[in-house]
Structure 1
Amino acid sequence: MTPGRSVVIITVSDRAAAGVRADASGPAAELAVRAAGYDDVAVVVVPDDVDAIRAELREAIAGAAALVLTLGGTGIGPRDRTPEATAAVLDLELPGVAEVLRERGRRATPTAALGRGRAGVAGGALVVNLPGSPRAAVESLEVLLPLVPHALDQLGGGDHRWP
């Protein structure tokens, strides 16, 4: 494991957690993250349950993950509560990151404007909610991953200069 480079991907899905369907989003996001040079990547699946999501986020942060991504549960459905679970663990929010991810999604799918994903910092980790579809998750990562090295450098006390 490279210090400061571990990634935890949390797929939020009742059906995937129950084994009713395979998790397609987690593996798609994992491929994108690995292609960006992160080799210490874990993928877990939890149900759409605030307590389960919050517990998994806290476990990832306590395990010294540098980047924690959630996939799914960011819409307006009755069980979409990933943003609420995330808000409970964040030390500070990064609204600009969430905004740019929604904008990227909106260019591909107008309904992405209904997304409520959050982004922020918890402990020493960058935590970001991504959409649940494999395509939308990967499109979001195309925007997010170039920002991650600078964000992690900042979290480690680095200078404010962009590379």
Structure 2
Amino acid sequence: MSDAAAAVNVDGLPPPEAVRIGIVSISDRASTGVYEDKGLPALKEWLSAALFNPIEFQPRLIPDERELIARTLRELVDDARCDLVLTTGGTGPAIRDVTPEATMDVADRVMPGFGEQMRQISLHFVPTAILSRQVAVIRGQALIINLPGQPKAIAETLAGHDAARGIFAAVPYCLDLIGGPYLETRDAVCAAFRPKTAQRPKRAG
């Protein structure tokens, strides 16, 4: 069998493109071992279930320090060449919650729709969602999104629910537009939305 034939899977499609994803859990206590971090495992589990793409994760566990968060985001995008960076934690109104400020420090462009939709999703579950300050930005050819700190809220925000579409449905097309890899989602977890002109044949499963 030729290399070209071997590269085609059972659907008759070439294999999905590889994607490099930075996942950053931001917590003073988890980063110092006071309690076990649950953000990174939750992100890995959800993304691995949602995507057909082979994923190279770049995990980071850091405290709530604005300069360190900004430096970590720059390193993940500029040096590690991540296509997508998801943070969890540090987005509330507490004094030590500085993730949105650090994210804005590294932004080339702001994508306000992500934060707006995240709060709409969370408001279906808790009234305190209005206290969340999550933002999303573009740096270079990478998308950076702040997510909530709790694993349950992470999944709800990414996947959505009956009354509100999750934010991850828009992530693949956003990456298309900024020159990233073509993300292929499993519809049972999260169906990506693209205009018909931007769609490729869908993979089974």
Q: What TM-score do the two structures reach when normalised by structure 2?
A: 0.74
Q: In 2, are the aligned partners of 1:27 and 1:43 still within 8 Å (CA)?
A: no
Q: Partner of 1:82 in structure 2? A: 99
Shift of 1:156: 1.1
Q: In 1, are the aligned partners of 2:18 and 2:56 still within 8 Å (CA)?
A: no
Q: Partner of 1:61 in structure 2? A: 77
Tell me the SS of whatever aligns to 1:35.
helix
Q: Spell out the pairing of 1:117-156 with structure 2 (5 A cutoff).
A: 117-142=134-159, 143-156=166-179
Q: Partner of 1:22 in structure 2? A: 36
Q: Partner of 1:9 in structure 2? A: 23
Shift of 1:152: 0.7
Q: In 2, are the aligned partners of 1:74 and 1:117 still within 8 Å (CA)?
A: yes
The one of 103, 112, 115 aligned to 1:98: 115
Tell me the SS of whatever aligns to 2:22.
strand
| Unmatched runs of 5 consecutive residues or more in structure 1 | none
Shift of 1:103: 0.8
Tell me the SS of whatever aligns to 1:145.
helix
Tell me the SS of whatever aligns to 2:169.
coil
Return the structure number with greater helix share. 1
Amino-acid identity (%): 39
- Structure number with larger C-alpha Rg: 2
Q: Which whole-Å CA distance do the structure 2 matches of 1:58 and 1:82 have between them? A: 13
Q: Partner of 1:113 in structure 2? A: 130
RCO (CA 8 Å, sep 6+): is it higher in 1 or 2?
1
CA deviation string 1:37-71 (max 9, x = no partner): 24222321100010111111011111111110110
Q: What TM-score do the two structures reach when normalised by structure 1?
A: 0.92
Q: In 2, are the aligned partners of 1:4 and 1:152 still within 8 Å (CA)?
A: no
Change (3 A) 1:87 1:4: farther
Q: In 1, are the aligned partners of 2:58 and 2:76 still within 8 Å (CA)?
A: no
Q: CA RMSD in A?
A: 1.8
Matched residue type, 2:77: I
The one of 195, 200, 205 aligned to 1:161: 195
Q: Which whole-Å CA distance do the structure 1 matches of 2:44 and 2:167 have between them? A: 14
Tell me the SS of whatever aligns to 1:152.
helix
